Chains A and B, each alone.
Chain A
Amino acid sequence: MSTGAATGGGAAAGVIHDIGYQRYDGPRLGRWHIAAALCWHSLRSAFGIRRGAKAKIVPVITFVIMCAPAVINAVAMALSSSHARIVEYDTYTPTLRVIIMLVFIAAQAPELVARDLRSKVLPLYFAKPMRRLDYPAAKYAAFTLACLAMLDIPVLLLYLGTVFQVHGFSAVWAQTRAFIPGLLVGLMWAVVLAAIGLALASVSGRRAFSTGAVAIFLFMTWILGHVLVTIAAQQGPGGPGAPPGPTKGPVCSADLQVGHSAAAHLLGIISPFNVLDGVRQWLGGTNCGIVANPGQYGAAYGIALLAFLGAGLAGLFLRYARADVA
């Protein structure tokens, strides 16, 4: 690979050897290929691939924890007499999923954007044959794929662990029909959370600030959402212990908590996680998630979802459109 280096290996650094320059006559790829290469490079860095051992700690641990319910489900199904699936495809394990995604995004979104800001490498990217906004677009695509892997690979494992233990075509088909919406929910989570995560992570090149911005926003809105919903439910017309309204599907603990109060339904909207779960239920998901069924307020959750996505993408792209980035 380096015949020239072998002959010059013993020389002190700084000695320049006269090795003839080779022109490059091969193909030159256009901006789409370059953006795809940047996307692939960023996707790998989201999981610490080709980086030091330290960079792999958080992605590996979060991924393993995220996959654990799928494995536990497979084992439980094998051991139980009923062979019934204990984890839902569309919600997976709701609270664990929120916590793990929060940690993953707070730790890994800065890996994609803050490192380049910190080391001031952006002028080099912008001096390459791609357009300025190809950079955030490639980063967004990469982080969406990274989040999708975190969300949907466990769901896929859950599906595989289940279908190998059910018998008959109709049983497999029933599992598959439940599995596909589960994948789509994962995609929805990835698309929205990646936008919010990268927009917040790109506020600063300092890793601590970058991680802090993501963690504080996602965690505080989630906690605050719960607190507000609880307070509103206690003060609302329904009140605690009021009989839940006619909702389709099972009655969840969140439904009991919220009762009928509009405020209780709408205050949860400040958290992207609540909005994602509300939209899932609005679009037909019947399993219990982290929020009560939004019922007639479903459209508000839908609008909030688009607002989070739009604000995240706008923040991210405006950040890189500004001249002072490079």
Chain B
Amino acid sequence: MTTTQAPSCKGVIVTDDPVIATTALTKRFGVAVTALDQLTVAVEPGITGLVGANGAGKSTLIKILLGLLPATSGKASVLGCDTTSQPERIRALTGYMPEHDCLPPDVSATEFVTHMGRMSGIPPTAAKERAAESLRHVGLYEERYRQIGTYSTGMKQRVKLAQALVGDPRLLLLDEPTNGLDPAGRASMLELIARIGRIGGDFGISVVVASHLLGEVEQICDHLIAIDGGRLLRAASITSFTTASQVLAIEVDEGIEALAAELARRGLHPVPAERELLVPITSAATFDAVRDAVADLGLPLNRMEQRRHRVEELFRAPAEPAELGGALAADGRA
């Protein structure tokens, strides 16, 4: 029989054992495509954001970590288990929430999550209890008896998270968990993930959130890993590099030059971009200064919007203001 209860590959979780460790991990598809290139990262307990543009290699990394894809070279381990020699052990300890839609429309959430609990190796009665528990944790109540096909996108995302939680994992791998959600749905999904991954919280589950939206993950993450073109851009704790990442976009109907001059006089560094001004936010006083400048000049203010720039720009060495502006303009809607 293969009944086991050990919490990790080594029998006990060693605290200084990284949740995920990769060494020179490389994955090539054919000769032309290199999805991961000599990637060496270590993921600590807590919530880790895995950020990168679409196609940066996030999903490939997750599939290798789950033992679903073989690496071309290099090594990877999850919770102390090697991905090539103990993939089933890893998958027993890990909950996975894929990016795309993956739910059958014609069963109820309760039935589906119970079935996924059984597929995680939980006996029938316990799987039912765990399914009810998981669905409650993600905020689905009476509607869990309804067919999944009748659910909103937000509810479906919750079911996907519930099926990842049902096996009581030690690690959650969430691929773009806020995909397709409205702002309120995003906020509550992020809040939920933050609660699950809080160090010292009652879940005690480490979480890796793969996302192309840095602005979202940085709200909840303890650590960030940025990859681009399969290469590591930067890995660090969250506080070390996100403070200077925010800018304020101001759009006025007229007098854009006058406003730029006025803002510069007030000690800000406005960057003109197409039909707007971009001002790096240094503190709450930035907002006051912009408001006062616009009011003093009596300009018709169209829009004022807080933005971030693209991940790859952020992870470079501190950007020049001009570069920053260019990146922002190219980004369109951040």
Question: Is A37 a contact partner of B136 (Cβ separation < 8 A)?
Answer: no
Answer whether residue A4 sits at the interface, using C-beta atoms and an 8 A cutoff. yes
Which of A4, A28, A30, A326: most chain B CB closer than 10 A?
A28
Query: Are B188 and A127 within 8 A (Cβ)?
Result: no
Q: B85 in the interface, Cβ–Cβ < 8 Å?
A: no
| A124 contacts the other chain (CB 8 A) | yes
The answer to whether B5 touches A13 (Cβ under 8 A) is: no
Alpha-carbon gap, A17 to B202, bound state (A): 13
Residues of chain A lying within 8 A (CB to CB) of residue B111 = 50
Task: Provide the bound-state CA to CA distance between A122 and B306, in Å.
Answer: 40
Interface check A52, CB cutoff 8 A: yes
> Which of chain A's residues has its CB closest to B90's CB?
A129
Asked whether, in the complex, the Cβ of A8 is within 8 Å of the Cβ of B100, the reply is no
With contacts A13-B141, A124-B163, A127-B91 known, is A24 near B185, CB below 8 A?
no
Shortest Cβ distance from A40 into B: residue? B118
- B122 beta carbon closer than 8 Å to chain A: yes
How far is A132 from B68 in the complex, measured between Cα atoms in Å? 8
Whether A31 is near chain B, meaning CB under 8 Å from some CB there, is: yes
Q: Are B136 and A20 in contact (CB under 8 A)?
A: no
> CB within 8 Å of B: which of A29-43?
29-34, 37-38, 41
Interface residue tally on A, bucketed by range:
35 or more
Q: How far is the CA of A125 from the CA of B88 in the complex (A)?
A: 12
Contact B142 A30 (CB under 8 A): no
CB-based contact B5/A28 at 8 Å: yes
| Of the residues B105, B115, B192, contact of A41 by C-beta under 8 Å | B115
Are B91 and A30 closer than 8 Å at their CB atoms?
no
Interchain nearest-CB distance for B13 vs A (Å): 13
Q: Are A2 and B104 in contact (CB under 8 A)?
A: no
B132 adjacent to chain A (CB < 8 Å): yes
Q: Is B290 an interface residue (CB 8 A)?
A: no
Q: What's the nearest-Cβ distance from chain A to residue B183, in Å?
A: 12
Which of A112-120, A157-165, A274-282 is the interface stretch? A112-120
Point out the residues of chain B lying under 8 angstroms from A115, CB to CB: 104, 106
B322 within 8 A of A: no
Contact A120 B101 (CB under 8 A): yes
- Which A residues are in CB contact (< 8 Å) with B195? 16, 18
Residue of A nearest to B165 (CB): A21
Give every chain A residue within 8 A of B25 (Cβ-Cβ).
none
Q: Indicate whether A123 reaches chain B with its CB closer than 8 angstroms.
A: yes
B115 to chain A, nearest CB (A): 6
* Distance between Cα atoms of A186 and B204 in the complex (Å): 53
Q: How far is the CA of A17 from the CA of B116 in the complex (A)?
A: 23
Kindly state the separation between the CA atoms of A306 and B143 in the bound complex, as whole angstroms. 49
Could you tell me if A21 and B88 are in contact, using CB atoms closer than 8 angstroms? no
Per-residue A-contact encoding for B190-219, CB less than 8 Å = 1, 0 else: 011001100000111000000000000000
A-binding residues in B (CB < 8 A)? 1-5, 66, 68-69, 88-89, 91-92, 94, 96, 98, 100-107, 111, 115-116, 118-124, 126, 130, 132-133, 136-143, 154-155, 163, 167-168, 184-185, 188, 191-192, 195-196, 202-204
Nearest first, the 9 closest Cβ-Cβ pairs linking A and B are A30-B2, A24-B168, A129-B92, A127-B96, A119-B104, A29-B121, A128-B119, A28-B121, A37-B118
A-B contact pairs, 9 of them (CB 8 A): A17-B139, A21-B202, A28-B122, A34-B119, A34-B121, A120-B100, A127-B94, A127-B98, A129-B121
Give 9 new A-B contacts, CB below 8 A, not counting A128-B92, A128-B120, A128-B121.
A20-B202, A30-B4, A31-B2, A34-B118, A34-B119, A37-B118, A119-B101, A120-B102, A124-B96
